[in-house]
Amino acid sequence: MDEWKYKIIDWFKNGTIDLFIGYEEGTRNPRPSFAASFEDAEKLVFDKRCSGNLAVYLTRKDLVEGKKVGLAASYYALKSISQLFDENQLKEGNFRVIGHLEDGSVKPFLSIEEIKQHLKETPPPAKQEDDELIREIEAMTASERWEFWTDELSKCFKCYACRSACPMCYCTKCIVEVNQPQWIQPWASVLSNMEWQINRVMHLAGRCSDCGSCGAACPLGIPVHLLTHEMHERVKEYFGESGEKGNVLSTFKPEDRENFIS
């Protein structure tokens, strides 16, 4: 048995956790697994095929409320955990993490400080396919870019899988489900699909962990994660890494200009 599973078994046995969220073998690929005892922990797996961001489950109240939770985390899940902690969605001491690092090693994290330190010292994993598409999009003129995104978003049929896959989309009522007032038309059309994605990206400004799960979840292959990626880059450029000086959407200085609302 893999060494890291002994750690999870220990945590179950000494009462440190009562739920561990990881992966188990599925029909074709590994699927999320919710181990409720040390016996369940034996069937856990983790390898390159486990590319989702399991931090998405940490805010699912029906699953984790009142529980001490352990999680299998890749680099990006660690980023999401750090951000969720900064947003007061996680409490220190209530969760444990088994980090599966890019070099294939495994590291248990016992505190948020350890996670933040690791993120500071570790560059993000390379994403070759995304980088190529980003280069292609950046080489376009503004009108070509507009055409590219209009074309991509015209395919969207508002299934909201991109929202469900995102660890940072944890509002109990999403703007797309509010109908008094109706902010965004519920049916799919190019305009309302644009409105939906613009809202999603704005809401994630400075909060996105750049994990790519939203794009991977889209059944139509729309690369919506590149929109949040671009916002992530712009926020980093203007305001620094999220969490360093507060979150960009909830932090202000008294002298900030307000001319955009006058």
Residues that bind ligand SF4 (CB under 6 A): 156-162, 165-168, 204, 208-214, 217-218, 220, 222, 224-225, 228
Min dist. Cβ of residue 228 to ligand SF4 (A): 4
Question: In 10 A of CB 83, how many CB atoms?
Answer: 21
Distance CA 73, CA 71 (A): 6
Q: Which is nearer to ligand SF4, 99 or 167 (CB)?
A: 167
Strands annotated E in 89-228: 95-100, 106-109
Residue 153 CB, nearest distance to ligand SF4 (Å)? 7
Minimum distance from CB of 179 to ligand SF4 (Å)? 18
How many other CB atoms are found less than 10 A from the CB of residue 166? 27
Shortest spacing between CB 186 and ligand SF4, in angstroms: 12
Q: Which is nearer to ligand SF4, 101 or 190 (CB)?
A: 190
Nearer to ligand SF4, 16 or 133 (CB): 133
Contacts 24+ apart (CB under 8 A), 134-139: 134/226, 134/229, 137/226
Give least dist CB 79 to ligand SF4, A: 8
Contact yes or no for 211/167 (Cβ under 8 A):
yes
The residue (of 16 and 247) whose beta carbon lies closer to ligand SF4 is 247
Q: Give the closest residue to 140 by CA, choosing from 128, 152, 157, 127.
A: 152
178 vs 220, which CB is nearer to ligand SF4? 220
The answer to whether 64 and 58 are in contact (CB under 8 A) is yes
